[in-house]
């Protein structure tokens, strides 16, 4: 070691006594006079005395610029005198005990660890070793070891590891020396190679000799022993050794004993240490089996339940919960196969595609096989201390595109123009001369593609589920199944009467509704009548219900027979449900008092509240909608419409401990299996009769457009497990749900568990609620979806699938979304949905109503872009302003307007995208001056629903091809992805004629972030997030892509610029946003993401988002486009300046972008972790789940939400 020269820091007096002593010590080192041991002892003793008595002395030695530590270490390394060594060790102990990690860091950086380890080795050669020396050395090593990242390696290579082990074995009864040795051993064991070596040397057995049942003595020693044992058991080899030697029952006994005797909870850390050992053992399959065999589930469940009232014991409950979740036996879902119930034959199946892989899988691949540790991991001698740091360092940038050539827009067109000329017919406005157009009757000049022919199949309307559950719903199962064939029970039938005579089923085209003189419906007349709208509204204004009050519990069987006047099909009659036969009442309250008079209910006319909604027109639209299951039923909310509530719906505040409580209820299933009913009450796999009704359980249904619920299992009296259906032609993507529930009891605490969710986290953990539509509420004048549910949480469950079925992902587990619900009305029919439903038939209805509202000033054309795989048409809209005349100037201005291309709903489960699109369309078709100016500024080409088939069939992510259409834009197939192929072709045609859109925006929904925000594309911002080097000329880029998001952040209250990102990732290269930017050359190419939950900033902070806010967002997007037009051509709208007073400030389009700009890869779950600090989601060693959804690939970095900043000045 180099001989240090004593220096002093500026400000420290040179005549300081300790510095003088250190100078003497330095001269002794330099002059090699340490052979005179007495001088060294005296100097070190004086220094020790000064340090013990004067705080300033410590500061002088450890101050920056002082070489005091170097002098002390040099003396320690060179001296052979035991007392001098001890004095220096005392000095170091005093110096490092206070001052925090900085002093220890200085000590390590000066090579102090190696000197101490060398002293351990040399001291062990003495016979016998000095106990005081070993005590002081290990005390110091316990302090510095955790701060030295190479500590374990140094100790092993030096040989000090074995010295400590031998010292431990020889001093099991010497608690004074045992404690620091255990502390050092704990640090040694953090290195995996050391842990294996120590296990082979019998240290595991030594630990079990030290730990034991409850005792008030030596608790510190016991705590350190348990920590050391826990560190050793992180090694799978040691965990197997512990299982082989039957240590699992011993640990459980020790935990029980401490739990029983530690009544004042003074030794929680010891109890937690035992649980830590169990947690590490149960990371392996053998450990989990040993835990189950030792009755560990019952022991931890009972002890945890007793701990629940004491909040300070939460760490014990949380760790116990994690252990029990891991050890809960993995099960496959209660399904014959996880493939979708429905199958659609594709025109051809690509050999390497997902559908081919799916249907080429052998039988039984769904079965769960726990292979988490079947292949023994041989811990190598390679040191792995730096692996995690390196992994974290590279994980940040591993998905960002680093090829600059791929980040530049292509300059050549990939398809010949002759191929694209067929798309000219979709751009008539670019060549229209309006010479044959009658400006007195402008509508005659704008044509639309003819509607698809009507289907003649029977359509069942939801208002026809009329009879209350306590009337003739107790029909035998066979009779219910017959109802699927169109047989209706007679309304007067008794529950015990023989099967009624079949009544004819009237289609909607043959039903006529009239009103008698008493204001009640008269259904005696049935005659063909094509126009039902007006009569339907009249017929639903008043529905008279006559009967006596019920006797007995609400929703139960039996009671006094009640007599009802049977209304017609559309206003409350009985209808046959395909595969069902359940009849429900739509009345709000059947007479409450015994013998009460009949109630007369006022049914609201929603046409006044919803100008774009027409129930009769909706049914007509349903007739031409084609679904794979051939749905014949209409869900009541879609038929009757949704009026946005006027009250605010706040983000639900999470109740502390709710997730833990739910998990404990799940664990009870394993501990008390006899309490579980396990009764299937709804099963789409039995397509002949999915509804299984015994009169005691809830009734479920999802056989209507966009419906998704595959199976319902009654677990307890008021608890149901629900299984969602996979997307058609796939075996995953479970998230969207939409189903009907009836037969409920008022005031009962129902719990619903959707058990096959796939994402690793959800906004349901951060205040989002499910949506419910009550038919009773609708009839009472409140037809609306409302946020509902309590005790909502989302966590990993014990269901999983094999790695083959999971596409090679090991240990793919499912997640449970659970919520509790209390119903307020008996005889109600309620619908639950993931988000506000918006069906394909709703879109068709809205488009037809919008076209009817068109004024002479609006140019609107609706074309059929293509037909989907399922036979549904994909509409394409063109909207702009009519020219004022046929003059050349007007026609030229009309044709040369810049284009804006909008699309939405490529992912069926993102229904909020359709509501935003609805807001955009309504604004564009509106009569306001702003709307007129916008139409004069642009030509809008809009594909409002890119995936009609997925929407119709209740998919969450895919089309009927079983693929995510937003990953097919690079090479779409005209046969498998027709909507994407033809939409891209439209854009390619525009690029070929030099009319590429000014703006392209694809509307989406985001399941794990709040607010509304945009993803764009930027060469600079992508490069700046990587380590690649590029010249300034390579990074030349117009920064106008930030203008539109910036405008939105100023005008739209739900929009957040801080959440926007303009980074291009490899995983998004085939999305619309990136392909349109790169191949079509549209600089302003965006994905606009709308939250499914709510907002955490701005005007709507703390509120859940609703259809009103979503439609407002669509309208605000239009206003932003008008501002963008002003900014890109400031003179263009001079004549309309008075309309833009609210947008007087100009936005800088040239802005300074910093490297701290937000990017998609940094955040998916932008929430802080919840109060319950429990890792419910994973077993130790699990790989993070790869999220198949919209989200960014690194969605688990919750802590990086603060990186989002608006870098636009």
**Using the 8-state DSSP alphabet, how is residue 338 labeled?**
S
How many beta carbons lie within 10 A of that of residue 788, not counting itself?
21
Distance CA(910)–CA(502), nearest Å, equals: 42
Q: Cα 749–753–754 angle (5° rounding)?
A: 145
Angle, helices 112-123/68-78, rounded to nearest 10 degrees: 20
**668-707 exposure pattern, b = at least 16 Cβ within 10 A, e = fewer:** ebbeeeeeeeeebbbbbeeeebbbbbebebbbbbbbbbbb
**Catalytic residue (one of 480, 705, 1089, 1172):** 1089
Measured over the CA atoms of residue 569, residue 575, residue 578 and residue 580, the dihedral's sign is positive
Tokens 């994690």 -> residue:
322
Measuring CA to CA, how many Å separate 679 from each of 720, 731, 740, 1008, 1198?
9, 24, 18, 33, 39
Distance CA(1130)–CA(448), nearest Å, equals: 35
Phi, psi of 750, deg, nearest 5: -80, 145
Residues 372 and 809: beta-carbon distance below 8 Å: no
Distance CA(1036)–CA(243), nearest Å, equals: 63
Tokens 């009864």 -> residue:
173
Question: How is residue 717 written in tokens?
Answer: 């009296």
Q: Is 1089 a catalytic residue?
A: yes
Q: Residue 868 class from Cβ within 10 Å (0-12 exposed, 13-18 middle, 19+ buried)?
A: buried
Q: Cα 291–297–303 angle (5° rounding)?
A: 120
Length of the chain, in residues: 1209
Element (H, E) at 515: strand 514-515
How many beta carbons lie within 10 A of that of residue 531, not counting itself?
8
Residues 472 and 593: beta-carbon distance below 8 Å: no
Closest to 383 (Cα-Cα) out of 171, 183, 190, 603: 190
Distance CA(1097)–CA(1095), nearest Å, equals: 6
Tell me the H-state helices in 896-975: 911-924, 929-937, 948-952
Tokens 């119930």 -> residue:
341
Distance CA(497)–CA(490), nearest Å, equals: 11
Closest to 1125 (Cα-Cα) out of 1115, 1117, 1114, 1133: 1133
Cis? peptide before 128, omega within 30° of 0: yes
Closest to 521 (Cα-Cα) out of 513, 512, 510, 529: 513
Residues 276 and 230: beta-carbon distance below 8 Å: yes
Distance CA(279)–CA(1179), nearest Å, equals: 10
How many beta carbons lie within 10 A of that of residue 7, not counting itself?
13
Distance CA(1086)–CA(998), nearest Å, equals: 11
Q: What's the chain's Rg over C-alpha atoms?
A: 37
Measured over the CA atoms of residue 1104, residue 1107, residue 1108 and residue 1112, the dihedral's sign is positive
Q: What share of the chain is helix, strand, coil (3-state, %, to 5)?
A: 40, 10, 45
Residues 958 and 882: beta-carbon distance below 8 Å: no
Element (H, E) at 288: helix 285-293
Which residues carry out catalysis?
Answer: 1089
């Amino acid at each position: 070691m180099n001989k240090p020269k004593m220096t002093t820091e500026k400000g420290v007096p040179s005549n300081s006594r300790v510095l003088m002593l250190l100078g003497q010590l330095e001269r002794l080192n330099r002059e090699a006079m340490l052979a005179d041991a007495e001088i060294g002892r005296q100097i070190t003793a004086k220094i020790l005395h000064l340090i013990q008595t004067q705080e300033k002395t410590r500061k002088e030695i450890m101050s920056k610029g002082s070489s005091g530590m170097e002098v002390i270490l040099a003396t320690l390394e060179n001296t052979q005198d035991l007392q001098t060594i001890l004095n220096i060790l005392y000095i170091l102990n005093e110096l490092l005990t206070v001052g925090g990690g900085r002093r220890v860091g200085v000590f390590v950086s000066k090579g102090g660890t190696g000197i101490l380890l060398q002293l351990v080795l040399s001291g062990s050669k003495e016979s016998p070793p000095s106990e005081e020396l070993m005590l002081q050395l290990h005390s110091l090593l316990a302090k510095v070891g955790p701060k030295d990242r190479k500590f374990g390696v140094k100790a092993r290579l030096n040989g000090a590891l074995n010295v400590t082990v031998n010292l431990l074995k020889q001093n099991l009864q010497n608690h004074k020396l045992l404690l620091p040795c255990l502390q050092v051993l704990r640090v040694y064991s953090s290195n995996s190679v050391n842990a294996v070596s120590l296990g082979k040397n019998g240290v595991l057995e030594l630990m079990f000799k030290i730990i034991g049942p409850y005792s008030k003595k030596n608790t510190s020693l016991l705590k350190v022993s348990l920590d050391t044992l826990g560190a050793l058991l992180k090694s799978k080899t040691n965990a197997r050794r512990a299982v082989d030697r039957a240590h699992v029952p011993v640990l459980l006994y020790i935990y029980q004993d401490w739990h029983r005797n530690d009544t004042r909870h003074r030794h929680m850390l010891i109890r937690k240490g035992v649980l830590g050992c169990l947690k590490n053992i149960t990371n392996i399959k053998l450990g989990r089996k040993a835990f189950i065999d030792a009755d560990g589930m019952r022991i931890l469940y009972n002890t945890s339940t007793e701990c629940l009232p004491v909040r300070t014991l939460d760490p014990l409950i949380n760790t116990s919960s994690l252990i029990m979740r891991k050890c809960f036996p993995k099960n496959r879902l209660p399904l014959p196969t996880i493939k979708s119930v429905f199958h659609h034959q594709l025109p051809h199946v690509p050999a390497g595609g997902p559908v081919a892989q799916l249907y080429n899988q052998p039988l039984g691949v769904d079965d769960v096989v726990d292979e988490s540790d079947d292949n023994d991991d041989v811990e190598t001698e390679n040191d792995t201390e730096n692996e995690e740091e390196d992994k974290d360092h590279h994980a940040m940038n591993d998905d960002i595109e680093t090829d600059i050539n791929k980040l530049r827009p292509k300059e050549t067109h990939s398809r010949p123009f002759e191929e694209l000329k067929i798309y000219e017919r979709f751009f008539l406005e670019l060549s229209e001369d309006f010479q044959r157009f009658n400006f007195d009757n402008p509508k005659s000049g704008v044509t639309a593609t003819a509607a698809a022919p009507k289907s003649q199949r029977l359509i069942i309307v939801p208002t026809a589920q009329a009879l209350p559950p306590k009337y003739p719903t107790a029909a035998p199962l066979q009779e219910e199944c017959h109802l699927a064939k169109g047989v209706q029970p007679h309304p007067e039938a008794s529950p015990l009467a023989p099967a009624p005579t079949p009544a004819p089923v009237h289609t909607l085209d043959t039903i006529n509704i009239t009103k008698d003189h008493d204001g009640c419906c008269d259904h005696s007349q049935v005659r063909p009548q094509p126009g039902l709208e007006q009569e339907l509204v009249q017929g639903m204004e008043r529905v008279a219900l006559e009967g006596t009050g019920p006797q007995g519990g609400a929703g139960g069987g039996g009671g006094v027979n009640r007599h009802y006047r049977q209304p017609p099909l559309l206003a409350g009659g009985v209808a046959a449900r395909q595969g069902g036969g359940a009849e429900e009442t739509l009345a709000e309250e059947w007479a409450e008092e015994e013998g009460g008079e009949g109630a007369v209910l006022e049914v609201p006319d929603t046409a006044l509240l919803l100008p774009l909604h027409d129930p009769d027109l909706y049914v007509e639209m349903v007739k031409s909608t084609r679904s794979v299951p051939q749905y014949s039923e209409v869900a009541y909310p879609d038929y009757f419409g949704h009026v946005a509530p006027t009250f605010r719906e706040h983000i639900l505040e999470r109740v502390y401990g709710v997730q833990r409580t739910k998990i404990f209820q799940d664990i009870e299933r394993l501990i008390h299996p006899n309490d579980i009913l396990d009764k299937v009450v709804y099963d789409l796999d039995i397509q002949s009769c999915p509804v299984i009704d015994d009169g005691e359980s809830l009734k479920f249904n999802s056989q209507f457009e966009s419906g998704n619920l595959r199976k319902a299992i009654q677990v307890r009296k008021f608890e149901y497990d629900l299984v969602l259906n996979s997307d058609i032609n796939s075996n995953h993507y479970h998230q969207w749900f939409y189903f009907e529930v009836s037969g409920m009891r008022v005031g009962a605490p129902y719990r619903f568990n959707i058990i096959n969710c796939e994402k690793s986290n959800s906004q349901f953990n951060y205040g989002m609620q499910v949506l419910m539509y009550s038919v009773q509420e609708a009839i009472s004048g409140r037809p609306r979806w409302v946020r509902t549910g309590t005790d909502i949480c989302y966590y990993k469950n014990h269901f999983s699938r094999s790695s083959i079925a999971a596409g090679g992902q090991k240990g793919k587990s499912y997640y449970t979304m659970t919520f509790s619900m209390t119903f307020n009305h008996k005889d109600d029919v309620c619908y639950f949905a993931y988000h506000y439903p918006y069906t394909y038939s709703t879109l068709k209805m809205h488009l037809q109503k919008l076209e009817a509202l068109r004024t002479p000033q609006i140019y609107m054309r609706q074309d059929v872009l293509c037909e989907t795989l399922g036979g549904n048409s994909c509409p394409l809209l063109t909207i702009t302003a009519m020219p004022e005349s046929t003059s050349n100037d007007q026609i030229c201005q009309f044709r040369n307007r810049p284009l804006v291309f909008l699309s939405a709903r490529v992912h069926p489960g993102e229904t909020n995208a359709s509501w935003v699109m609805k807001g955009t369309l309504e604004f564009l078709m509106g009569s306001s001056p702003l709307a007129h100016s916008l139409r004069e500024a642009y030509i809008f080409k809009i594909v409002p629903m890119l995936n009609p088939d997925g929407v119709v069939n209740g998919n969450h992510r895919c089309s009927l091809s079983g693929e995510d259409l937003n990953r097919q834009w690079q090479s779409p197939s005209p046969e498998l992805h027709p909507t994407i192929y033809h939409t891209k072709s439209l854009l390619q045609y525009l690029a070929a004629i030099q009319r590429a859109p000014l703006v392209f925006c694809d509307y989406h929904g985001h399941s794990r972030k709040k607010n509304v925000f945009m993803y764009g594309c930027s060469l600079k911002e992508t490069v700046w997030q990587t380590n690649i080097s590029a010249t300034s000329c390579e990074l030349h880029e117009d920064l106008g892509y930030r203008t539109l998001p910036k405008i939105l952040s100023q005008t739209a209250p739900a929009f957040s610029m801080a959440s926007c990102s303009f980074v291009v990732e490899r995983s998004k290269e085939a999305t619309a946003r990136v392909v349109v930017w790169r191949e079509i050359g549209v600089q302003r190419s965006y994905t606009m993401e709308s939250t499914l939950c709510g907002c955490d900033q701005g005007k709507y902070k703390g509120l859940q988002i609703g259809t009103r806010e979503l439609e407002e967002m669509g309208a605000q997007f239009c206003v932003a486009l008008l501002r963008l037009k002003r900014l890109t051509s400031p003179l263009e709208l001079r004549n309309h300046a008075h309309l833009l007073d609210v947008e007087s400030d100009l936005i800088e389009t040239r802005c300074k972008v910093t490297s701290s700009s937000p990017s998609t890869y940094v955040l998916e779950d932008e929430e802080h972790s919840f109060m319950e600090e429990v890792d419910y989601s994973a077993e130790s060693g699990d790989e993070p789940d790869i999220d198949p959804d919209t989200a960014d690939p690194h969605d688990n970095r919750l802590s990086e939400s603060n990186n989002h900043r608006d870098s636009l000045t």
